[in-house]
């Protein structure tokens, strides 16, 4: 598909790596294309970054038909920029689209516009250690009527944001609050889709946890409120008595690409790994018996986040003396090594971007 380019007449100044943070700065351009039932995807364009014009009846604003993705471009030591498993993001976006009755984007088209846009904007990929260019593709229903139905119009956008190192003073264990009241998702709902609505419903518990001094919420299943699901924007893994255990994908959990990569790495290296249901009681028992050896979250933003403390119904549980464990550190080093190109990519996960 032809991509029409309109250059930004007022290019911005690239921020210093020390001020980057997450999602605060945006690059000079964004990618957009539109969908209609009659024309399919059309009008692919790279335009100056700026506000969107929306009809006040736009479907996304009233009925929440919005999905998104998150991936990063990494600058290698040789100066080249590369993506990590982007096809997985495209496939997940299309699964999310199906769940929310939004149009899918053919894989080849999605990969073409993504790689061309990142190639166009690649100078914005910072090179300081731990920094990257965060890529946020998103799609929303864009009918200009208040009727409730699967949309006939949608808009797909990609914005990019240079982001800082997640761990400025070394990789630090986080404290997590297990949420006993609100639930995030149930089987048959939208928990396995990456959609904005899931986050809107999560914020109340997140605020509560933050006020109590915890950085994120660990969700329990929505039916029995007994089984571990995932952390705010990360999947979760535990090492119990030598085995790595992570909740199985039963329909209410986001199928993370970092999760998938951890499992593939661990299995290839001969670790004992299981995807299954894991109850809060089993976890508490393992802790009391000294068998809960490590816990960590995994997601694109932080890659691997060691968990040093869990709090459930006011009771605090310290894990591994609040220190980073051996498998946690190994996963962090392996994944970041492949992503930034300091370790060989024997899995074929990286995709270099053309200059």
Binding site for ligand PLP (CB under 6 A): 70, 194, 230, 233-235, 254, 256-259, 299-300
Contact 227, 277 (CB under 8 A): yes
Nearest to 42 by CA among 136, 154, 145, 144: 154
CB of 149 to ligand PLP, least distance (A): 26
Query: What element of type H or E holds 216?
Result: strand 216-220
> Which of residues 142 and 202 has its CB atom nearest to ligand PLP in the complex?
202
> Which of residues 316 and 347 has its CB atom nearest to ligand PLP in the complex?
347
- Burial annotation 147-186 (CB, 10 A radius, 16+ → b, else e): eeeebbbbbbbbbbbbbbbbeeeebebbbbbbbeebbbbe
CB of 70 to ligand PLP, least distance (A): 6
Residue spans of alpha helices (H) in the chain: 59-63, 86-99, 107-121, 196-211, 257-268, 280-288, 326-339
> Which of residues 15 and 222 has its CB atom nearest to ligand PLP in the complex?
222
Torsion angle of alpha carbons 302, 155, 98, 137, nearest 10°? -20
CB of 304 to ligand PLP, least distance (A): 10
What is the number of residues in the chain? 355
Q: φ, ψ for residue 171 (rounded to 5)?
A: -80, 115
CB of 203 to ligand PLP, least distance (A): 13
> Which of residues 233 and 283 has its CB atom nearest to ligand PLP in the complex?
233
Pairwise CA distance, residues 151 & 141, whole Å: 6
CB of 187 to ligand PLP, least distance (A): 15
CB of 339 to ligand PLP, least distance (A): 12
- Residue found by looking up tokens 């001020």 in the block: 19
Contact 135, 120 (CB under 8 A): no
CB of 235 to ligand PLP, least distance (A): 5
> Which of residues 153 and 259 has its CB atom nearest to ligand PLP in the complex?
259
> Which of residues 153 and 164 has its CB atom nearest to ligand PLP in the complex?
164
Contact 3, 110 (CB under 8 A): no
Contact 355, 119 (CB under 8 A): yes
- State the chain's maximal CA–CA distance in angstroms: 64
CB of 183 to ligand PLP, least distance (A): 13
> Which of residues 151 and 335 has its CB atom nearest to ligand PLP in the complex?
335
Pairwise CA distance, residues 109 & 11, whole Å: 28
> Which of residues 229 and 293 has its CB atom nearest to ligand PLP in the complex?
229
Pairwise CA distance, residues 342 & 351, whole Å: 14
């Amino acid at each position: 598909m032809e991509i029409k380019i309109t250059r930004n007449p007022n290019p911005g100044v690239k921020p210093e790596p020390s001020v980057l943070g997450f999602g605060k700065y945006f690059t000079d351009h964004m990618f957009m294309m539109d969908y209609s039932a009659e024309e399919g995807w059309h009008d692919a364009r790279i335009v100056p970054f700026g506000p969107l014009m929306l009809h006040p009846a736009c479907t996304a604003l009233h009925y929440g038909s919005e999905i998104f993705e998150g991936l990063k471009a990494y600058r290698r030591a040789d100066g080249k920029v590369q993506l990590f498993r982007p096809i997985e993001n495209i496939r997940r976006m299309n699964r999310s689209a199906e769940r929310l009755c939004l149009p899918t984007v053919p894989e080849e088209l999605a990969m073409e516009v993504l790689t061309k846009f990142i190639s166009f904007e690649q100078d914005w990929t910072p090179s300081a250690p731990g920094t990257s260019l965060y890529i946020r593709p998103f799609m929303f229903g864009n009918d200009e009527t208040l009727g409730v139905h699967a949309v006939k119009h949608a808009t797909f956008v990609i914005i990019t944001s240079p982001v800082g190192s997640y761990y400025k003073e070394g990789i630090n264990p986080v404290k997590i609050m297990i949420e006993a009241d609100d639930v995030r998702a149930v089987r048959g709902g939208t928990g396995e889709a990456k959609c904005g609505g899931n986050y809107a419903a999560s914020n109340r518990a997140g605020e509560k946890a933050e006020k109590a001094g915890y950085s994120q919420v660990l969700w329990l299943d929505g039916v029995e409120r007994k089984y571990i699901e995932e952390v705010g924007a990360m999947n979760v893994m535990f090492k119990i008595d030598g085995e790595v255990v992570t909740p199985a994908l039963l329909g209410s959990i986001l199928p993370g690409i970092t999760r998938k990569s951890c499992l593939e790495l661990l299995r290839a290296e001969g670790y004992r790994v299981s995807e299954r249901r894991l109850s809060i009681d089993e976890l508490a028992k393992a802790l009391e018996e000294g068998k809960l050896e490590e816990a960590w979250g995994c997601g694109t933003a932080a890659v691997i986040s060691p968990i040093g403390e869990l709090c459930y119904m006011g009771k605090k549980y310290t894990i591994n003396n609040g220190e980073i464990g051996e498998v946690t550190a190994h996963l962090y080093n392996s994944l970041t090594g492949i992503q930034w190109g300091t370790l060989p990519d024997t899995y074929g996960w990286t995709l270099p971007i053309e200059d």
